[in-house]
Structure 1
């Protein structure tokens, strides 16, 4: 688990990323921070570390990006627990397995949106822009 430096831009969306692939994580952070007023505050590659980070009162964020398949545990567990804790952050699932059934299940568990990691990054960026415009 990594804590990133505080946001440089006060109006930037504050994001927590749950992604186990170091390559995808690095590319996603670079893409989102380049294309949006967004700052990734931290990340986790497993369910336990993600829930531990989210459980800290000083770790407030506007957006939680969640992959479903993690090093240990599941993104479904992160999604369900974040919803039970009443997290105010938008909960967005980003997965290579965004089938109709997975999308339906994630939405039923409290996801605000579900995007396919391999084909819907532009849609994710557009969605983040709508969050940012209502955030500022």
Structure 2
């Protein structure tokens, strides 16, 4: 499983990478601090990207607009939004753009890691997480 973490916080990127790399089945975790770097990484990836973990507030653009583009470039890509701005408006906006999951960074961080463990385990049934967490 190949994962791209897009978050402007170096601390969050570091924490996620460290925890994701410990998950069996995770081959590679790439990071980007903004939209431009994420666009470059996604378009230059030869092998399929499995999961994109996306923050909503990036310094160089609106990442929600990139979700359909990224999913178009990688057909089976799953998108998990992880944000501190978990309003109903943002949740609906992300899901309508094609995000598969929406997590509140302050209260659902561990749920994202559980989801990734499920996705990386070929024996695991489809993840039980709803597209929109209550």
**TM class, shorter-length:** 0.7 to 0.9
Structure-2 separation of matches of 1:108 and 1:32: 27
- How far apart are residue 60 of structure 1 and its match? 2.5
For structure 2, the residue ranges without an aligned partner over 5 or more in a row are: 125-134
TM-score (norm 1): 0.79
Asked if the contact 1:18–1:75 (Cα under 8 Å) also holds between the matched residues in 2, the reply is no
Q: After the TM superposition, which parts of structure 1 deviate over 4 Å for at least 4 consecutive aligned residues?
A: none
Q: What is the correspondence of 1:41-56 to structure 2 with a 5 Å cutoff?
A: 41-56=29-44
In the TM superposition, 1:1-136 aligns within 5 A as 13-34=1-22, 36-37=23-24, 38-134=26-122
Segments of structure 1 that go 5 or more residues without pairing to the other structure are 1-12
May I ask how many residue pairs the two structures share in their alignment? 123
Q: Shift of residue 76 of structure 1? A: 0.9
- 1:96 is displaced (CA, Å) by 0.5
Secondary structure of the residue aligned to 1:55 is helix
TM-score scaled to structure 2, two decimals? 0.80
Distance in 2 (alpha carbons) for counterparts of 1:18 and 1:51: 10
Deviations 1:32-84 (A, max 9, x none): 223x2234432111111111111124152211111111121122122232134
**Alpha-carbon distance in structure 1 between the residues aligned to 2:77 and 2:123:** 11
Note the alpha carbon deviations across 1:80-119, whole angstroms, 9 max, x for none: 3213435422111111111222111111100010111111
